[in-house]
Structure formats: C-alpha cells, structure tokens
Amino acid sequence: MAAGANDAKQARLMVKKEVLINNSIKGNTLEISEGDMLLYSPVPFTMGRIIELSFSLVDGLPPIKLRARVQTVQEGVGVGVSFTGINQADKEWLKRFIMENMPAQPAKQEFPAGDTRKKVLLVDDSVTARATYKNKLVLSNYNVREASNGMEAIKSITDDIPDLIVLDMQMEGMDGTKFLQFVRSNDTWKNVKVLMLSGRITPQETDRISAMGVSGILSKMITTPNKLADQVKQILGA
C-alpha cells in the first residue's frame, strides 16, 4: 500500500478482523497502522473515494468508526486506505493496540544461512497436505517452509524470498488466486516462481491462472508427493 513520508515510520500489524464498509459491505482488515489500512473488499472502489469504516480489533469492545480515502486498489486482492479526520484518542488507541500485539506475531522466518538447498514455500490450509508434501520435498533435498493461508505466506516471503512457492488455490480468506495477484503486483516478488495446486480446474481457470505467470498447475486429486517433487525438480532444475 502506498504510504507517505510520515507513514514510513508507523508500525504496521497484519491482522484479520471483520470491517463494515459504508454500513453495508462486509470486508476484512489485512494490515493496519495508526494512519491507514489495507483491507479486502468484495466490492471495488475507485481511487480517491471517501468510505466509512466500522471495525473492532478486540472482541467485546465497541467498534471504531472512521472515514478513509481510497489510496490504492489491487483488484481481487486489497484496497489501501488512509484515515481522514481521525481523532487523537482513536489514533493513540490504534498505536497502542499495534505495539502491544507486535510480539504476538510469529518471529521472523528465514531460511537458514549457509544452506545451499533450493528454498520452497508450501502454502496450503490443509495440515495433512502440507505434512505429506513437505516430507517428500525435504527428502528430495529442498529447504521447505510452510504457511496455512495467504496472510501467513505474505509474512513469510517478506522475511525471506523463496525460490518457489507451491500454492493451493482454494483457501479460506485470501485464497491462492488473490495471493498470487498480490505477489505479481509487488516489484520485489513479481518474478518468484509459483506452482499452483487446485482441487478442481476448469479450462477457463487454467487460462486465467496461466496468464498470471505460473510455472505449472497441478490437480490435487491426482498429485502424489512423488509427482509434486518431480514437478518442483523440473521447475527449479535441481
């Protein structure tokens, strides 16, 4: 999300909470600071539009109600907004909430220094699928990290960029397609290789995903750990 010079020093917290937009549209927060927010909305908004937000970061507390201006739009992924006219009390509360919850976030995840194995990030909301695929990839001499959803995956690649992302298409919240759009819109990550897994693939979906520059598409229904490892080897050449 675009940020001004004053926003650069603001602490940012990745947090998923329901947000009500214009008293009628249900979305989710993705990232928040004391001055702005990245949120997911099922309805598109134009740049510069003023919207009304209502959200509660702590269960049981009254919602915070703010006005915000749309600053960035990443279709299908997220809307970046900056708060307008926020009072000092709400600003200080947001700042305190963010700072108090920062330690609760996962520690920075980096692939071990000096490890020359190719780095693979496995993104799937199925614990069983991740464990099964990870075991085979580790045995095939890959350095593997895991993420259970798109938000965890963003945190992971922010900490350390992998050589390949193995990405499940169907996940709760930010699914594989939205995550891929987010990655491709970022100059730092846009060239990372991605291997997509899908429980169901139609020709239309195959064309749409292929257009986003993936290195391969596999059906989870017929993809064994051995087949995945073979495809990863073909992509990474190792």
**pTM of the complete model:** 0.59
Q: Are 29 and 54 in contact (CB under 8 A)?
A: no
Give the residue-averaged pLDDT of 19-34: 89
Q: What residue numbers bound the domain in which 82 lies? A: 5-103
The highest-confidence range among 4-8, 59-63, 111-115, by mean pLDDT, is 59-63
- Domains held by the chain: number: 2
- C-alpha 202 chain-centroid distance: 24
Regarding whether 80 and 54 lie in a shared domain, the answer is yes
**Residue 109: pLDDT band with limits 50, 70, 90:** low
Regarding whether 137 and 97 lie in a shared domain, the answer is no
Q: What confidence tens digit (pLDDT) does each residue in 121-133 have?
A: 999 888 888 888 9
In a domain, 67, yes or no: yes
Regarding whether 139 and 181 lie in a shared domain, the answer is yes
Give the residue-averaged pLDDT of 19-44: 87
Q: What confidence tens digit (pLDDT) does each residue in 212-222 have?
A: 888 988 888 88
**Residue 71: pLDDT band with limits 50, 70, 90:** confident
Q: Are 143 and 118 in contact (CB under 8 A)?
A: yes
DSSP state of 177: H
Cα angle, residue 158 at apex, residues 152 and 164 outer, rounded to 5°: 80
Domain boundary among 69, 103, 137: 103
Q: Are 83 and 35 in contact (CB under 8 A)?
A: yes
In a domain, 21, yes or no: yes
